[in-house]
Structure 1
Amino acid sequence: MRAVSGVWRWRHNPLRRATDRREAWVALAALILMVLAAPALGWRCGSFTDDALQKSVRAQRAQRHATTAVVLRRAPEAPHLVTDPEVSSERTPQTLVVARWKAPDGTDRRGTVTTLSRRTGPGAEVEIWTDLDGHPAPRPMDAPTARTHAALAGFGAMLLAVALIEGGRRLIVWRMMRGRYTRIDRDWAEAGPDWGRTGTGS
């Protein structure tokens, strides 16, 4: 982006070329887009993503219910590790247990569920999530996590916009330089054969 300074530095310089001014203006336009347009695009993308995720959060909260299940026994499967961004930023061990609980309509349910609780012996109470029919369901996303995901999406969109703007600037400058060298080669081919000869141009 050093060419930005050329907009003023080359303004009154007798050695300036038209391509120098054009490159400087392209760099200045790219800088303005990076400073103003890219953050605005990132904020817009993050806002739309947050709206969509918050709707999803509300829908999940309406369709899932937290309930207490009573552990009957440990399931034969061994504990496994999962990454749950809702609970922790680290890998969290989940244990499979056979448990019983009541569905929202009051009927008894029994099945294999996963739990993060360390107390998984028979008779232990663990919290699980169920759908409207009482079947086990994943834990719903919470609002702060949705907002974090939206912020990351907006930041990613801003970085992508900056990369595209810089890529476009480099492509335009490359085409300008290529055209400049083509003109130099053409002019040199026209003047080269007579270079240094006495009376040339007279």
Structure 2
Amino acid sequence: MRAVVGLWRWRHNPLRRDTDLAEAWVALVALLLMCVAAPVTGWICGGLTNASLQQSVRLQQEQRHPVTAQVLGHDEGARTAARDAEAATDHQMRRSVPARWTAPDGTWHTGTLTTAPLGADPGDTVRIWTDDRGRPVERPMTEETAREQAVLAGIGTMLLAAGLVEGVRRVVVWQLVQRRYARLDRAWAQAGSDWGRTGAGS
């Protein structure tokens, strides 16, 4: 709004300098870019990110499978602060235990898992995710999580674009001010020698 007012104020003002009008135009263009171009850029980035993440979600859901693992014993020396993705909301502490599970292809696997609750005893069962070969993997991303990340990416891109526009505006305005000061110095240098003399400049 100040840019529009500035343009109107300098329209027929006899004191207007070229740099004044240029500064008002720069402010108006920057305002339009931040109000239109930045949101559009964020929208496009968010859409592309969502499309990419949704494709990853589909691949992960196809390639990762939930299986039930049986705890074989205790591993008191392998306590860890790792947390299972399914328990991220309550931050339940986890530890490493030896376990056995059946892969999607029917083969048996044994190994150390870090997804067993602290109170798991031998013979207890825990849910884990594996790939097609039975190797433990992280839980697949959900569509909701992918959308949330895409929204954050879009907002971040919009803010970054707006900040870039504002940075360019400040640089241009700084250059205009420096040019204005340079002209003022030259004008003062020309008039300074006659300053205060009676009839100077007549």
TM-score (norm 2): 0.90
CA distance in 1, matches of 2:177, 2:160: 26
The residue number in structure 2 matching 1:183 is 183
The alignment of Structure 1 onto Structure 2 pairs a total of residues equal to 202
Q: Confirm or deny: 8 A CA contact 2:99 2:112 kept in the other structure.
A: yes
Which amino acid is 1:189 matched to?
A
CA distance in 1, matches of 2:8, 2:84: 54
Q: Secondary structure at the match of 1:80?
A: coil
**C-alpha distance 24-86 of structure 1, shift in aligned 2 (>3 A):** farther
Q: CA deviation at 1:92?
A: 4.3
The residue number in structure 2 matching 1:128 is 128
The residue number in structure 1 matching 2:159 is 159
The residue number in structure 1 matching 2:104 is 104
Which amino acid is 1:158 matched to?
M
Aligned residues: percent identity?
55
**C-alpha distance 82-156 of structure 1, shift in aligned 2 (>3 A):** farther
**C-alpha distance 44-73 of structure 1, shift in aligned 2 (>3 A):** same
Q: Confirm or deny: 8 A CA contact 2:67 2:130 kept in the other structure.
A: yes
Q: Which runs of 5+ in 2 are unaligned?
A: none
The residue number in structure 2 matching 1:73 is 73
- Taking the TM superposition and a 5 Å limit, the aligned residue runs for 1:131-150 are 131-150=131-150
The residue number in structure 2 matching 1:115 is 115
- Taking the TM superposition and a 5 Å limit, the aligned residue runs for 1:14-33 are 14-33=14-33
Which amino acid is 2:46 matched to?
G
Q: Confirm or deny: 8 A CA contact 1:70 1:99 kept in the other structure.
A: yes
**C-alpha distance 53-112 of structure 1, shift in aligned 2 (>3 A):** same
Which amino acid is 1:65 matched to?
H
Q: Which runs of 5+ in 1 are unaligned?
A: none
Q: Give the aligned CA root-mean-square deviation in angstroms.
A: 2.1
The residue number in structure 2 matching 1:63 is 63
CA distance in 1, matches of 2:135, 2:35: 50
The residue number in structure 2 matching 1:53 is 53
CA distance in 1, matches of 2:85, 2:150: 14
CA distance in 2, matches of 1:186, 1:31: 33
**C-alpha distance 85-131 of structure 1, shift in aligned 2 (>3 A):** closer
The residue number in structure 1 matching 2:199 is 199
CA distance in 1, matches of 2:118, 2:42: 41
